[in-house]
Structures are given as C-alpha cells and as structure tokens.
Amino acid sequence: MLGRACQKLQSATPLTTSIRGKARGVIVQSYAADVLPYKGKPAAPRSNRVRLEAGKTYNWCSCGLSVTQPFCDGTHKINGLTDVKPVSFQVEKTGDYPLCDCKQTDTRPICDGKHKD
Ligand code: FES
C-alpha cells in the first residue's frame, strides 16, 4: 500500500538536486532514499572515487554489505539482514565522483567527509 503511494508520489514529484539541495550534480531517482533514509554499516572509512557516465543509472549501496562497493549487489534483499535500500541515481555530467563508502554521508551517494569524524 505504502509502496504504491510512494511510486505515485515519485512519478509526480521527481527528486532532483534542486529539491534535495545537497549532492551537487547528482539526480537521485529512488524515492526510498528519502522515505527510508537509514544509514548502513561502513564498508570502508573513505570515499571511493569512481568514473560515472551522464544518463546512466547507478545503484549506490547504502547498507554497506555489498561486495561490489560502492554499488549495490542485492545483498540487502536477504531476509532479516537490513531495512536499508540502495539509492538509484544519475549524474548530470560524465566525470569522477567521490562516492561514500562509510555510508554515513548526508549527501547520498556523494561523500561529505563524515568518515573523518
Ligand atoms: S547491497 Fe547494500 S543497498 Fe543493496
């Protein structure tokens, strides 16, 4: 029930950097990123600089359990493991981006330096 309501809201209100006002140059596409903003376990205490292509959709692992960091490998789907879901996003321009590996960033999926705290 809540899932359908979220899907309708998502299609009616696309989440963009201007609305979220946080991760610059990133277009977050998964409504789960805001509805379920739980933070996962740190995969590594660092940022992970990755080459990303404009227009391509990526799924950033927010649970910290994926073995293909910083991207989701579906591990979060294992029953009872976590309630955290991946953050689907695109970038506005092709380039190198510092994706968060500590999973504590407030600018998901981009590192905001929290791993240094
Ligand atoms: S494996 Fe971590 S969000 Fe999917």
**Structure confidence by residue, pLDDT tens digits, 45-64:** 999 999 999 999 999 999 99
Total domains, the chain: 1
Residue 87's CB is within 10 A of a number of other CB atoms, namely 24
Mean pLDDT of 107-113: 90
Output the pLDDT for position 10.
43
- The end-to-end CA distance of the chain, in Å, is 39
Output the pLDDT for position 11.
42
Q: 88 CB less than 6 Å from ligand 1?
A: no
Q: 75 CB less than 6 Å from ligand 1?
A: yes
Output the pLDDT for position 15.
39
Q: 65 CB less than 6 Å from ligand 1?
A: yes
Output the pLDDT for position 49.
96
In which domain, by residue range, is 48 found? 2-116
Helix (H) / strand (E) containing 33: helix 32-35
Output the pLDDT for position 107.
87
User: What CA–CA distance (Å, rounded) separates 9 from 95?
Assistant: 30
Which one has a higher pLDDT value, 10 or 77? 77
Closest CA to 55 of 28, 90, 11: 90
* CA–centroid distance, residue 76 to ligand 1 (Å): 4
